[in-house]
Structure 1
Amino acid sequence: MNTTKKMIVKTVATVCAASLFIVGCGAKNKENTSTIFAMDTVMQLEIEGDDKLLAEAEKKIRDIEGTLSVTDEDSEIGKINSDKNGKLSEDGTKILQEALKICEATEGSLDISVYPVLKTWGFTTGEFRVPSDDELKALVSNVGYDRIDVEYAGDKECNVKLEDNMQIDLGSVVKGYTGSYLAEFFREKGVTSGLINLGGNVECIGTKPDGGLWRVAIKSPFEDSKSGVLGVIETSDMAVITSGGYERFFEENGEKYWHILDPKTGKPAKSGLASVTVVGRNGTVCDGLSTALFVMGEERAEKFYKEYSTGDKGIAAFDLIMVTDDRKVYVTEGVNTIFSLSPEYSDMDINVIR
């Protein structure tokens, strides 16, 4: 039997071809930009202010990556996974706390202990393969965020203990956390206009230099798209984070296998959703929920939104844009007036969740 296999990695969301909607929107004041490769993706930082701040921001990105990279045996996460016991410093502690809240609220649709399953599929190694059902059953038996033993020493440090066959990965939330961290850092330094694009995890600071709203493009999840853009959100001071099966996948014998796994089955989540965009002020929550709600599917995600979106149940407030495989768009009322479909998709109906 002939087997064909290929890996495709795509960016989640773009800021309008990086700057397309920013350029040509009026006279620009002094802006400084930086592009780096970190956390396995291309990152772009743009601020109106002192360019020395960009160097500090780049260092912070490298520090977080060095601390929490799951593929680095010498990182804090790497040592915990190896020794089954270890400490996380301040950034890791904050991210872990927030991630475990999301795991619990979503009843394991996000589970930071699914890493051994993800690794077996080859999404962290590049050695892609389809595990057998028996293999997945054995791997899934060791998945369980609620079995992670965490002892907190205030909010600056914690000790983590894992069962013998468990490993954890904070990659599902780390870029969202980093985006919000950098936005707050820039604001504290007096920056009132900026854009942080961490491989599609977008964080807006204030408005554009000309006073207009940032226009953040939501990537089309459909292969036949001509423009590549589903629609645009006009916003300020928000994180905009999208997850979808089109982001990173491989093909074998004509079937696609993407990296967003259902922790309960160990298989790529097939929930009827093509993409989920989460908009809010807490990038960590937006990042984690974009994955969890993709796993849930539209009906469960809508129910979750109605229960948790107000921010009074331990999860920061958020709004949603969900696109189904059969090309229906669902938006929550908080983004209904600031989201518009691109001309290519103008004939699609937008269903508002209230």
Structure 2
Amino acid sequence: MMQNYASKAIKAAAAAVLIAGVLSGCGKTDGDNQATAQTQKADPVSATFYVYDTVATIKIYDEKATEQNIDEIRDLLGKIDLELSRTNPDSDLYKVNAASGREAVKVSQGTFDVVKKALEYSEATNGLLDPTIGPLINLWDIGHEDAKVPNKDELEKARKLTDYRKVEMDESAMTIKLEEPGMVLDLGSIGKGYAADQVSLYLQKHDLTSALINLGGSSIIAVGGKPGGADWNVGLQDPDKNRGSQLGTLKINNETIDSSGVYERYFMQGGVRYHHILDPRTGYPTQNGLMSITIVSDNATDADALSTAAFVMGLKDGMAYIEKQKGVEAFFVMDDNKIYATSGLKDRINLTSDVYSMADGQQ
């Protein structure tokens, strides 16, 4: 019997739970932060809506915030949907995929920049993060009712179409072409982070200094601190339980946090969990003992890409790779319930679950 563990309704509810239950409330303003409190408020201007194939929740605590800001952010994310959505027939990405093997497609500057960034990560990770992984994603169809383990012939055909080196980009013409028929770009490993960064830039441009941005429950940006200036206390997802269950907390201020894990989308078949983080080298879900990885950075686009790439790398190589990235930290949750954190993060994690423990030497 096969069980599938992701639908739009479930993901929408999960994202709402994450915001309501995991990100701590604002609380009272500290007396030492009265100047900051004058421009911030406890009750945010907020909205939750479905855009770019995910649930977006925006909460702005700055007193200058209005419903117009929310409307403009909704429009901004709608514009990104018209650039990066795989399922919107009017989007740049949809048109590029539809023209694979035939012709180059003119795209917006935003679309061009995101694809270029994704390809840069492909080069840097030797293809472990590959935005042309779409054929494999389509084949597995994880997160939908038809998800199943594909046969080897289908898998090999889709794997051969996964090759970032066959994406042609012409910056002067602002076009993108996929060389082989059947190639499919998928920006799921970077797109939500990019969208979150664009919302953050909007808030900065409008001098809105206290906000929470949540896209899909996995890409979260804390713009500034809480009203009063204190850090946000963010719950860390327990990868062995449903969205909203915590293994601990982490304080962040003007930072982004991005997570990838086996709990997000998967199906069970023959007693085996098949999750959505695919290894481009094999075509199968990554199996390396990792349950989840969380990246902490000041850039959501990078954090989104790095959480996927480091997951596929595994603990040893992923840890070494993250340690080399300036301004980036991470922690890895293993299937033996041990947690490994990079040097700048291990002392910031507050474990609240007795099930998990820091690995030896990381207490």
Establish whether TM, by shorter chain, passes 0.5: yes
Q: Give, in whole Å, the separation in 2 of the partners of 1:99 and 1:326.
A: 32
Q: Deviations over 1:120-173 (max 9, x none)?
A: 11137642121012221121111111221111139xx44334322311111211
Aligned identity (percent) is 31
The code of the aligned residue for 1:145 comes to Y
CA distance in 1, matches of 2:149, 2:169: 33
Tell me, in whole angstroms, the C-alpha distance in 2 between the residues paired with 1:16 and 1:36.
13
Partner Cα separation in structure 2 for residue 298 and residue 120 of structure 1: 27
* Match of residue 87, structure 2, among 47, 64, 71: 71
Conservation of the 8 A alpha-carbon contact between 2:136 and 2:158: yes
Determine the structure 1 residue equivalent to 2:35. none
More divergent stretch after superposition (201-210 vs 26-35): 26-35
Q: Following the alignment from structure 1 to structure 2, what is the Cα–Cα distance between the partners of residues 108 and 286?
A: 17
For residue 25 of structure 1, report the CA deviation from its aligned partner. Answer: 4.6
Q: Which residue of 2 aligns with 1:34?
A: 47
Whole-angstrom distance in 2 between the partners of 1:250 and 1:213 = 37
Cα deviation digits, residues 62-98 of structure 1 (max 9, x gap): 1111221112233111111111221221211121121
For 2:96 and 2:216, how far apart are their aligned partners in 1?
26
User: Which one of 93, 107, 110 corresponds to residue 91 of structure 1?
Assistant: 110
Larger deviation, residues 85-94 vs 335-344 = 335-344
**Which residue of 232, 256, 262 corresponds with 2:279?**
262
Distance 1:25 1:269 in 2: 44
- 1:350 Cα offset (Å): 4.5
Confirm or deny: 8 A CA contact 2:81 2:88 kept in the other structure. no
User: For the Cα contact (< 8 Å) 2:257–2:303, is it kept in 1?
Assistant: yes
Q: How far apart in 2 are the matches of 1:268 and 1:26?
A: 46
> What does the per-residue CA deviation read over 1:177-212, in whole Å, with 9 as the maximum and x for residues that have no partner?
111111111011011111101112100101111211
1:250 to 241, 244, 267: 267
Give 1:176-325 correspondences, 5 Å limit: 176-200=193-217, 201-223=219-241, 228-306=245-323, 308-310=324-326, 317-325=327-335
How far the C-alpha of 1:352 sits from its partner, in A, is 6.6
Structure 2 match to 1:130: 149
Name structure 2 gaps, 5 residues minimum.
31-40
Q: Which moved more, 1:269-278 or 1:165-174?
A: 165-174
Distance 1:226-1:45 versus aligned 2 partners, 3 A rule: closer
One-letter code aligned to 2:316: E
Q: Which amino acid aligns with 2:329?
A: D
The 1:329–1:13 alpha-carbon spacing in structure 2 relative to 1, beyond 3 Å, is farther
**Alpha-carbon distance in 2 for matches of 1:88, 1:336:** 42
Q: What is the alpha-carbon distance in structure 1 between the residues aligned to residue 210 and residue 22 of structure 2? A: 14
Pair 1:349 & 2:355 matched: no
TM-superposed deviation, 1:351: 5.5
TM-score, with structure 1 as normaliser = 0.89
- TM-score normalised by structure 2 residue count: 0.86
2:170 to 151, 171, 181: 151
Q: CA RMSD in A?
A: 2.4
Aligned length: 340
- Secondary structure of 1:21's aligned partner: coil
